[in-house]
């Protein structure tokens, strides 16, 4: 049963349309379901993020708040406006310390505590996740002069003149 030219073309266009429709459907479904919103502690307090919804929580690790029980660590994330207690089990990134920026992914439990399953590792002493910087700027916690709100201890050797361009991006391009 040889197809006519028109039938051939139609069957091919139909096939292509079907694949593209499936691809489009998958993308829309995934955009609805699989993305995670960034929230600061005060967002969580103000907007009543539903318990159990996955979010990325970003802010600074509050001074004096880190308590370790073996593998589990409890700390407070702050953005000046609000505080949220977080709990995490596992190894922490090299640069996880008090006064430093942090981004953690997880859910706020019914106990009102943020249960993190990932704490993001950043590679640079001076690096603060961009979401954290913007959230802090909104709160007026960002001190431009120091260019860096922790500004205790470690000297920032090379700031001022240069923007540290792509530390997250550094991985594949530089």
Question: Which residues here bind other proteins, judged by CB under 8 A?
Answer: 3, 5, 8, 11-12, 15-16, 19-20, 22-23, 26-27, 29-31, 33-38, 56, 70-71, 90-92, 94-95, 105, 121, 123-125, 130-131, 133-134, 154-155, 157-158, 161-163, 165-174
Our CB check for other proteins shows the closer of 110 and 119 to be 119
In a 13 Å sphere around the CA of 104, the CA atoms on its Cβ side amount to 33
Shortest Å, Cβ 49 to other proteins? 13
User: Helix or strand or coil: residue 9?
Assistant: helix
| Short-list 55, 58, 35, 48, CA closest to 135 | 58
Our CB check for other proteins shows the closer of 111 and 121 to be 121
C-alpha to C-alpha distance for 99 and 141, rounded to whole angstroms: 13
C-alpha to C-alpha distance for 114 and 57, rounded to whole angstroms: 9
Shortest Å, Cβ 32 to other proteins? 10
């Amino acid at each position: 049963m040889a197809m006519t030219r028109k039938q051939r073309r139609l069957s091919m266009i139909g096939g292509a349309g079907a694949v593209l429709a499936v691809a489009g459907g998958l993308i829309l479904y995934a955009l609805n379901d699989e993305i995670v919103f960034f929230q600061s502690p005060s967002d969580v307090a103000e907007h009543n993020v539903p318990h159990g919804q996955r979010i990325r929580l970003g802010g600074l690790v509050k001074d004096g708040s880190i308590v370790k029980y073996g593998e589990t660590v409890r700390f407070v994330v702050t953005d000046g406006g609000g505080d949220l207690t977080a709990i995490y089990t596992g190894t922490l990134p090299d640069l996880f310390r008090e006064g430093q920026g942090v981004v953690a992914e997880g859910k706020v439990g019914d106990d009102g505590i943020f249960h993190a399953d990932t704490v993001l590792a950043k590679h640079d002493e001076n690096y603060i996740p961009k979401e954290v910087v913007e959230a802090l700027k909104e709160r007026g916690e960002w001190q431009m002069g120091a260019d860096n709100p922790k500004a205790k201890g470690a000297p920032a050797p090379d700031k001022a003149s240069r923007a540290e361009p792509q530390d997250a991006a550094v991985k594949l391009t530089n």
